[in-house]
Structure 1
Amino acid sequence: MPVDAVSRIVHLVFAAVWAGSVFYVAFVVLPLARDGAFNTTKPLEVLSSKLTMLSRVSAVVLLVTGGHLAGVLYSFDGEGGPSLFSSTNGQLVILMLVLWVALAALVEIGAKRFESGLNGKKLREPAQNALPMFRAAAVIGILLLIVGGLITTGFVHRL
């Protein structure tokens, strides 16, 4: 049981930090870069590198902790607990997995677009090119947190 509690806590913390970081980059950092608030590419290169690392680590941690929780809380046939495929919460877990893959992909694509432009010592254009990817990723991050809240609270069972 303590492993399950630790898994939930670690899962939620990493999800929140990842989603929050992507949101901050999408709605604060990239608009500032696009509008010319930076004189050099160096801080943006560091930021992009750190965000990419955070994204990758978070993706792995969420895969491990989420996989553990899904294995403990759900079954494939409905005999050992709610079914992953036919229960509402199980379907939300599958939706969360799809959103998780989309978030990871969008952050990777956005970071590559941003970094490739920064390597050419440009500031505004790479920020503009990466902005749609990061904004989409931020929306998906928020959706992930909403779905996680629905699963955690069992809200859908009370409708």
Structure 2
Amino acid sequence: MLVDIASRIAHLLFAAIWAGSVFYVAFVVLPLARDGAFNTTKPLEGITTRLTTISRVSAVALLLTGGHLAGTGYSFDGVGKPSLFSSPNGRLVVLMVVCWLLLAALVEIGSKRLESGLNGKKLREPAQRALPLFRAGAVVGLVLLVIGGVITSGAVYVL
């Protein structure tokens, strides 16, 4: 019981930190870089490195906590617990895993695209090229939080 509560709390915190970080970079940092607010690549390099670290740590934490929660809350055959593939919440969990993979990929690809331009000591062009990936990642992060809220609230059974 205590492990389940700790898993839920950790899962929510890591999801919020990850989604919030990607959202901040997508809608604050990269537009500033694109518009020439930075005089050097150093701040953007540091932000990109930190975001990549946050993304990777969060992805692993969500895999571990989400795996635990799915393992204790769902079954593959629907015996004794809701089925992961045929219950409404189970399908939302599967959709959440797909979004989790998509968010991780978007952040990795966007970061690499940004870093490659920053290595050439450019600011505006790499920020412009990475911006759509990070904005897509921000939307996916928000979708993940909404799905998590629906699963946690049990709202899918009310609808």
User: Shift of residue 56 of structure 1?
Assistant: 0.3
Equivalence map 1:26-41=2 (5 Å):
26-41=26-41
Partner of 1:7: 7
2-side partners of 1:121 and 1:80: how far apart? Answer: 58
Residue 157 of structure 1: how far off its partner (Å): 0.2
Matched, 1:149 2:143: no
Matches within 5 A, 1:20-99: 20-99=20-99
Which residue pairs with 2:135 in the alignment?
A: 135
Q: Distance in 1 between matches of 2:53 and 2:153?
A: 30
Residue identity opposite 1:144 in structure 2 = L
| In structure 2, distance between residues paired with 1:84 and 1:11 | 18
The alignment partner of 2:136 has SS state of helix
1:139-158 Cα offsets, whole Å, 9 max, x none, are 00000000000000000101
Counterpart of 1:3, as a letter, is V
Give the drift of 1:80. Answer: 2.3
Deviations 1:77-121 (A, max 9, x none): 111210000000000000000000000000000000000000000
TM-score, normalisation: structure 1: 0.99
In structure 2, distance between residues paired with 1:80 and 1:56: 34
1:14-52 CA-partner distances (Å, limit 9, x unpaired) = 000000000000000000000000000001001000000
Matched residue count: 159
Matched, 1:109 2:89: no
> Deviation above 3 Å: which 4+ runs of structure 1?
none
**Cα distance between partner residues in 2 of 1:14 and 1:92:** 19
CA distance in 1 between partners of 2:122 and 2:80 (Å): 56
Amino acid at match of 1:121: K
Q: For 1:133, give the aligned amino acid.
A: L
Question: Which residue does 2:124 correspond to in 1?
Answer: 124
Identity of aligned residues (%): 74
RMSD (Å), alpha carbons: 0.4
Could you say what secondary structure the match of 1:77 adopts?
coil
SS at match of 1:121: coil
Residue aligned with 1:48, SS: helix
In structure 2, what residue type is equivalent to 1:9?
I
